[in-house]
Each structure stands twice: as C-alpha cells, then as structure tokens.
Chain A
Amino acid sequence: MTEDELDPVIHTALTSLPEPDASLRDNHIASALQEVSVGPSRYRRVLATAAAVIVVLAGAFALGRSTAPAGPTPQVSAPASTIPKAALTTCTEQFDSNAELVHSYEVNDVDYAIVKVGDETFILEVRSCSYVTQFSATTD
C-alpha cells in the first residue's frame, strides 16, 4: 500500500454510498434551474443599460462634433463592418471573457460574428448574441 492509498476495504466502504433517490435528485436540479431565469436576465439588463449609455454618449459626441466650428478633421478609417462595434464587443465578452473577435459579417440583414476561444472558433448571431455553430482546430 503506497502513501496515497487507503485500505481497499475501507476505500470501498467510504465510496459506496447508496445512489441518491431519483426524485430527490430531480427536485434538487429543478430548484437549481429556477435560478437560471433570474441570473441571465439581470445580466442582460446590466448589458442593456451599458449599451444604452454608450449610445447616448456616442450621440452626444456626434452632436457636439456637428455643432463645433469647422477645422482640420482627423482622418478616420471606415469600419470593416456595418455592425456596431459596441454590439460586437458586448456579445464577444458576454460569450466568453477570453473570446477574441476575429471577423464580423452580415447575411440577409442578420449580423454574425466569428470569435475564437483557445482552439475553438464560434459563429454567433450578434443581435441575440446566440451561438450558431462551432469549429475546433484539427491537426490533419
């Protein structure tokens, strides 16, 4: 018996707890699942508020620029996509804090984002920030 081992008979007695009652398990899981609707909706409210604040600030900034005296204007390169960057960023971060936005595109008025998390690549529908499909890196 090595340092890391317990006597097999004791180990068996310790680990052989009777399986929990199925109805108890189902009740426990059902109660826990009731928390789901509480958590994400709060999270979405926070995100919606943050997005609204960004929109208001962006609007105020644009208004200020339009009423400012004419002068030298810095050149700003055109965005690669017509999808609002804030929405892309929010969706990417909401999906995974380590997600990296790779590309965004639009098909039939629906905005999509391609994000990368580690070796996995995901396509998200930006408006609802919902998962569409996933690709994994292969070593062919």
Chain B
Amino acid sequence: MSVSDFTVKRAQKGDKGAIDALLRAHYNTVHAVCHRIVINSADADDATQMALIAIVRALPRFDRRSSVSTWIYRIATNAALDELRRIKRRPVPVDDTVLENTTLESTSTIDDQMLITSALRQIPEEYRVVLVLRHIADLDYEEIAAIVEVPVGTVRSRLARGRAQLTEIVGNQLVEPHRQTSDSQIINHKEDLR
C-alpha cells in the first residue's frame, strides 16, 4: 500500500492524520522487516516501536532523495540492527520464537514458520538483512545498497549466499510433498528452537 505525495507533505508538516496514514500504510512491512531481522518476537516488537518513533522524528528532514517507502525501511532496518546490538550486550539472552502471541491457521504453517525462523537465526546478520529487504520489503538492489551502505555488487553476492544458505537449511524440509506434521513433530521443532 502506498500513500500519496500530498499525504507525505502533510505528514512532514506535522499533520497527525497524515502521519497516522503513513505509519499504517507501512506498518506491516516495518513489523515484518523487524521480526525477520531481530527474530526474537518481543525484541522485534520493541524495534518496530523504535522504528515508528524514529520515522516520526525524522519526517521533517526527509529530503525525498529516495521514495518514502525506501526511507522508512532504511529506518526500520537501522532500528532492527540497533535492537540486535542491544540484545548482544544483554547478559542473559532471552530466546523465544516469532510465533508467540500469534494465531496461525494450520500446523503446516506453524511448521514452516518454525523452520524458516530457525534457519534465519543461523544465517549471518549481513545476509539476513539483504534477504529481508529484497524479499519482504521488495526493494531493488540499488535501494538495498543505499540502505546497508555497500556496493550493489556486494548486495548481489550477499543475496546469493543468503539464498543458498537458506535453501540448504530449510529447502528439503519445506518442499517435501507431504508436509502434514503431527503435533509431536511441532513440539520437537519448538524444543529445537529453544
């Protein structure tokens, strides 16, 4: 969902209705970017909140050199990376899953989410960030390069490596023709993730 240039201008002038519309239009993607980068659910929610606050504070200085969505995802990415740094400084890591406090429709969905979450956790942060920006935020290479501040070629190679690692870790399990899992298997996945 996109918002009009007019809404962005009004938001930049401090119009609360326009800011509300801007944040709502991008909330799900900001939330998804934070969750896929940070992984831990509670910390990802914190990152989402920090991202929204940072967006509101920086809006008057948005210079339109990029699209507003690219600018917003840059802020979300930085908020998620800041949260990861805070997590690393914490003495006792808290380890939960993205599934907590959420409602999912089927056991196969739960199974897939468990696998993808576990796989993302194993992928280096620099690969995870570009994978999330490419496949969740739907940004092109140039936009990703601007956000992570590396050359386009580096984005390309990180994406290739990230995809290869992700496929290697989860590929065979997700693409199995018979993916119906029993409750006991799901419990085992949950145990693996803890």
- Specify whether A and B are partners: yes
Main SS at interface, chain B:
helix
Docked-complex contact A31 and B53, CB < 8 angstroms = yes
The segment out of B81-89, B145-153, B170-178, B185-193 that lies at the interface is B170-178
Give chain A residues whose Cβ lies under 8 Å from the Cβ of B14: 36, 39-40
Docked-complex contact A28 and B170, CB < 8 angstroms = no
With both chains docked as a complex, state the minimum distance between the C-beta of A34 and any C-beta of chain B, in angstroms. 9
User: What is the interface size of chain B, counting residues whose CB is below 8 A from a CB of the partner?
Assistant: 56
Docked-complex contact B112 and A7, CB < 8 angstroms = no
Docked-complex contact B49 and A43, CB < 8 angstroms = no
User: What is the interface size of chain A, counting residues whose CB is below 8 A from a CB of the partner?
Assistant: 39
Name the contact of A33 in the complex, choosing from B5, B19, B49, B166 (C-beta under 8 A): B19
B residues 41-97 touching A (CB-CB < 8 Å) = 45, 48-49, 52-53, 55-57, 59-60, 63-64
> With the chains together, A120 CA to B156 CA distance in Å?
37
Give chain A residues whose Cβ lies under 8 Å from the Cβ of B136: 14-15
Name the contact of B23 in the complex, choosing from A16, A32, A94 (C-beta under 8 A): A32
Decide: A14 near B131, CB < 8 A? Known: A32-B56, A36-B56, A131-B13: yes
With both chains docked as a complex, state the minimum distance between the C-beta of B29 and any C-beta of chain A, in angstroms. 10
Docked-complex contact B57 and A17, CB < 8 angstroms = no
Top 8 A-B pairs, shortest CB-CB distance = A32-B52, A40-B14, A13-B112, A18-B102, A13-B116, A35-B56, A20-B31, A9-B174
- Enumerate chain A interface residues (CB-CB to B < 8 A): 3-4, 6-7, 9-21, 24-25, 28-29, 31-33, 35-36, 39-40, 43, 94-98, 117, 120, 130-131, 134
